[in-house]
């Protein structure tokens, strides 16, 4: 899959409820907003980028890529952001990633794209294997054909919100990734600080 045929959508339109209502994508991580880390990870993998946000729009616009807002009101969840992205997407494919996963795989699009084409799927979704042996779906890390737009619009119009319930309506390829940490998302300020601690400890070791 040619990366120029793929638009990357960074999902930063949530309430940030578990972070006390702060705008999660703008929280600093290693001196840079979380959403910018996602952007920098996706940029080499895609031909175009979008950010989905519903507040602090000027801050996200300063990233230098178009910002799209939910057409559905009251923060209904990631699917609303995906719909907004699909409505503005000008490429055959769109890949999504949340703003709070700064370590996403650098081969995310290549592997999802290969699986989507090989399996003649409409959607490709990331999976990881948990320590207990079961597989964990990561539905916000997803590559889709833009032709799923009408289906998603109808799904949301019906009042539905669950990603899995929507993807189950489509031919979906599931791609197993080895590094579960790459899909770790940051839900609280404590988790954000904890993720930065190894960097701080390494700096102290170098200084000593």
Q: What is the CATH number of the domain that holds 62?
A: 3.90.550.10
Is 57 or 200 the better-scoring residue by pLDDT?
Answer: 57
pLDDT tens-place string over residues 54-96: 999 999 999 999 999 998 777 678 999 999 999 999 999 999 9
Can you give the residue range of the structural domain that contains 165? Answer: 3-207
Q: How many domains does the chain have?
A: 1
Residue 203 pLDDT exceeds 50: no
- Cα–Cα distance, 159 to 67 (Å, whole number): 25
Report the candidate in 121, 118, 71, 67 with the shortest Cα–Cα distance to residue 93. Answer: 121
Give the separation between CA 7 and CA 182, rounded to whole angstroms. Answer: 20
pTM over 0.85: yes
């Amino acid at each position: 899959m040619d990366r120029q045929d793929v638009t990357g959508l960074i999902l930063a339109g949530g309430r940030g409820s578990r972070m006390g209502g702060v705008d999660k994508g703008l929280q600093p991580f290693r001196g840079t907003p979380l959403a910018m880390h996602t952007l920098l990870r996706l940029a080499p993998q895609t031909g175009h980028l979008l950010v989905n946000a519903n507040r602090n729009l000027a801050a996200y616009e300063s990233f230098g890529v178009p910002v799209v807002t939910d057409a559905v009101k009251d923060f209904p969840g990631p699917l609303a952001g995906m719909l907004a992205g699909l409505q503005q997407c000008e490429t055959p494919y769109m890949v999504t990633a949340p703003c709070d996963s700064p370590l996403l795989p650098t081969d995310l699009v290549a592997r999802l794209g290969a699986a989507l084409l090989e399996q003649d799927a409409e959607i490709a979704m990331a999976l990881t294997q948990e320590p207990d042996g079961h597989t964990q779906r990561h539905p916000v890390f997803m590559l889709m054909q833009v032709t799923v737009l009408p289906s998603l619009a109808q799904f949301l119009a019906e009042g539905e919100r669950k990603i899995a319930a929507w993807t189950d309506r489509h031919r979906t390829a599931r791609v197993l990734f080895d590094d579960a940490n790459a899909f770790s998302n940051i839900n609280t300020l404590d988790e954000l600080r904890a993720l930065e601690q190894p960097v701080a400890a390494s700096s102290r070791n170098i200084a000593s």
